[in-house]
Structures are given as structure tokens and as C-alpha cells.
Chains A and B, each alone.
Chain A
Amino acid sequence: DTEVTQTPKHLVMGMTNKKSLKCEQHMGHRAMYWYKQKAKKPPELMFVYSYEKLSINESVPSRFSPECPNSSLLNLHLHALQPEDSALYLCASSQVRDRGAEQYFGPGTRLTVT
């Protein structure tokens, strides 16, 4: 089973709202990732968690706040977003944070900021 689940599938939020995206995997993977994909563009890495600790932040604005409550769960807290933050947010996981470990992606959450 290589399933990564993400909720919600779609989210519409105003610029003053606070919302959270959720990602879950039960493959025993110890590395988890958030990517952002704008329309007609390739995915871009945002954050990397390794063994529940934030190891990489790709210079993401502080209005995006990741959290890893346990080894199976990854959240992305959103606050005071801008319309240009509208995108598909993808979660991925891999056995470990290593170039030889394939990453498995979830279906994504399509976010619209109004």
C-alpha cells in the first residue's frame, strides 16, 4: 500500500481566515513533504520533515506553518493568505529523507483564496 491521503480535497478561504490542510500516511515512512503547485507549473518543494522534525524550509512565508504531530500525520496551517497562494498543495512521504528513497504523493488539496 503506497497511499497518502489528504483532506480536504478542495478549500475556499478568505484572506483573513485560518484553515489547516491535513496529510496522513500509514506506510511507516519517516520523511514527509509539502509541495505547492500553481496552475500549469511543476510542483515546488515547501517543507521537509524527517523523524517528525522540520529539516528543510524552502524560504516559505510565515503565513504557512507546518506541523508534524506524529510519524503518520502532517498538517499545514494557513493564515492571512493572499490570492496568489491559490494552488494545489501536495503532500508526499518517503521511507527516509534520502535521494534513493522514492516519494509517494497524495492527491492534493486544491486551495482557492478569495
Chain B
Amino acid sequence: DAKTTQPTSMDCAEGRAANLPCNHSTISGNEYVYWYRQIHSQGPQYIIHGLKNNETNEMASLIITEDRKSSTLILPHATLRDTAVYYCIVRADYKLSFGAGTTVTVRA
């Protein structure tokens, strides 16, 4: 699977949009971009995934650049409950290979 690069940590203000970047410059044409998050001591939670097009669901939006070498996860209105480790994963097959992720802290 292609490697991803994410910031180690980010702070966000409650009520504002949180934009989480991810670089995946070696991504192949058939690899999906997945986002998960893990709130302390809980199991990872699926957020969203996409192949080429931008995607939106009730939790977030995923913006993938045209060359697919990077993506941004957008949480439209961050709340304190969004404080978590966010993982960007490039997936070619059955395997989810988690990296270190971005620790996002939402502050009041």
C-alpha cells in the first residue's frame, strides 16, 4: 500500500471547520483513500472513503486532488467530541494499514 504523510497534531476551534491534510504521492490508480478516527480507548470509527471523486456523508467531506497525490478531510463544524486520532489510509486490498495519524484536539 502507498505510504501516507499526516501532521502529527492539530488544534481546532469548536464550531469551526477542521481541515485535515494527507499526502499520498505514490498512490496507485486502484487504491482507495480511507479516513478513520479513534477516540481514546475506543475502536477505530470509519469516517469516509473515496477513489477519485470528492465524497460527502453525514460526518465529513473528503476532497481528493485531481492528481490524487493528496487529500483533505473536512469536519464542517468541529465539536469537543471530535477530539481523536485521525488516520488517513491508502488501501489497495483487504488490508487497512494504519500509520501514526494526526492527533486532533478541538478546543472550546
Contacts and interface: CB of A to CB of B under 8 A. Distances in A.
Q: Is B truly associated with A? A: yes
Interface of A: 2, 4, 31, 42-45, 48, 50, 55-56, 88, 90, 92, 97-100, 102-108, 110
B28 to A, nearest CB: 11
Interface stretch (B9-17, B19-27, B37-45, B61-69): B37-45
B99 interface: yes
Given A42-B87, A42-B100, A107 B42 contact: yes
A104 B51 CA distance: 19
Interface of B: 30-32, 34, 41-46, 49, 51, 87, 91-101
B46 A44 contact: no
Contacts of B51: 100
Contacts, number: 55
Contacts of B101: 42
A102 B42 CA distance: 18
B98 A42 contact: yes
Contacts of A43: 44, 96, 98
Given A42-B87, A42-B99, A99 B46 contact: no
Contacts of B45: 105
A56 to B, nearest CB: 7
B92 to A, nearest CB: 6
A98 B51 CA distance: 13
Contacts of A104: 46
B78 to A, nearest CB: 22
A48 B94 contact: yes
A99 B100 contact: no
